[in-house]
Amino acid sequence: MSKKVLYTLEYPVRCSPAILYEFLTSPAAMQEWFAEKVDEKDGVYTFKWNESEETATMVEKEQDKFIKFKWSHMAKDEYFEFRIDRSEVTNQTILIIKDFADKKDIKDQSQLWEYQVKDLFYRLGS
């Protein structure tokens, strides 16, 4: 099995960091764009898509700044993270997604994130 590599995606978004953070951390809000069903108990999130179910542990977060998850099925040093930043030039909110994938799968994974983020922006009215 090849070692996965970290890749980063950035998306400008028209909303406040507080609203965006809610959509990245709240199970009810995540259910609107990330998965069909999202549950959370004691920092463990369960994501359901069709017949598939995955769990991820929330390993770190800071209000209105970022949240980092560790998939239960991934290697110990692999994670996915949503980070909220501000452009110094435009003062616009920036969503930064960090994730791991096999080098050959980064393009496909990026397209999947693109689809998810498009749905998120629709929900945000952005």
CB–CB of 5/101 below 8 Å?
Answer: yes
- Give me the domains of the chain, ranges plus CATH numbers: 5-124 (3.30.530.20)
Between 76 and 122, where is the model more confident?
Answer: 122
In this prediction, residue 1 carries a pLDDT of 52
Average pLDDT rounded to a whole number, residues 92-103: 95
> What is the distance between the alpha carbons of residues 41 and 26, in angstroms, rounded to a whole number?
12
For the segment 46-92, what is each residue's pLDDT rounded down to a tens digit?
Answer: 999 998 999 999 999 999 999 999 999 888 889 999 999 998 888 89
Query: How many other CB atoms are found less than 10 A from the CB of residue 25?
Result: 18
Token pair, residue 71, equals 């998939």
**Tell me, what's the pLDDT at 76?**
83
What is the rounded distance in angstroms from the CA atom of residue 107 to the CA atom of residue 92? Answer: 26
Region of 88 please: left (phi>0), alpha (psi -120 to 50) or beta.
alpha
pLDDT of residue 2 exceeding 80: no
Average pLDDT, the chain: 93
